A and B are shown apart, each in its own frame.
Chain A
Amino acid sequence: MKLRIMILSRNWCFWCARFREIMLDAPWSSFDLAMSIILILRGTYLIAGFTMLESAYTLYKPLAGIMGLWAYSWVCLLAGLVQAISVLWPSRPPFEWRLFARMGVCFCFVVFSLNQIANVPPPIGAITHLVLSGLSIWSVLRTSHNGG
């Protein structure tokens, strides 16, 4: 029994160490690239059919009331483009540039995440948005001069 507990605790520590390694040391560029693609596509989609989206989905009504979905679509597209350029740049861009790009992505995801959580009942996509916004906040926090 004692041995089993020891094995379990060792396994648990192993998983913890692996999780820590992924969150702190693993390259984050694939996540950045995925986020930038999502935002570029979302921005394009909103620009193409924002009036339809505003009238068809009550979910985005609170957002539309504040800044207008038109503005959000441009913010998403620009944030996605800046992040894509930052990720695809041949050499590592300066710290300030990478931080700014990640902050833009983080803003877009947190806005949509909070908007979806505010909806009663929250749509199923709220979970995805919540996780992605959490990870994008983490991406801002783990940005450093020497990588990250």
Chain B
Amino acid sequence: MSTESGDWLTLLQWAVQNPEKGALALVLLAGAWRWVRELRKDWKDDTHQETFTEVLMKENKELRAENKELVHELREARSQRNQNHQANLDPDRKR
């Protein structure tokens, strides 16, 4: 613990004795840290957007399948109705 605090003190002394080097190191460190953080944030946002697109595509696929089923059911119902209609017409023709 004391060794660590001694190291920090030495670093601080060096920074105070060399103000331009200390300032340059501090500023570059802060700027680089900020830049890296923003890049990471951008990358995370991009990844999130990709998964969101995937979710949308999956939903689109499901809706298409559901739509197909509904169309099939509708066609069947229509043909059934036509058959019933034909059956109702036949007795009249027989007369």
Binding site for B on A (CB under 8 A): 62-63, 66-67, 95-96, 99-100, 103, 106-107, 110-115, 117-118, 137, 140-141, 143-145
Contact = CB atoms under 8 A, between A and B. Distances in A.
A115 B18 CA distance: 8
Contacts, number: 59
B38 interface: yes
Interface residues of B, number: 20
Question: Interface residues of A: mostly helix, strand, loop or mixed?
Answer: helix
Interface in B30-89: 30-31, 33-35, 38, 41-42
B11 interface: no
A67 B18 CA distance: 11
A144 B20 contact: no
B19 A63 contact: yes
A66 B20 contact: yes
Contacts of B23: 106-107, 110-111, 114
B19 A107 contact: no
10 contacts: A63-B19, A99-B34, A103-B28, A106-B30, A110-B23, A113-B19, A114-B15, A117-B16, A137-B26, A140-B31
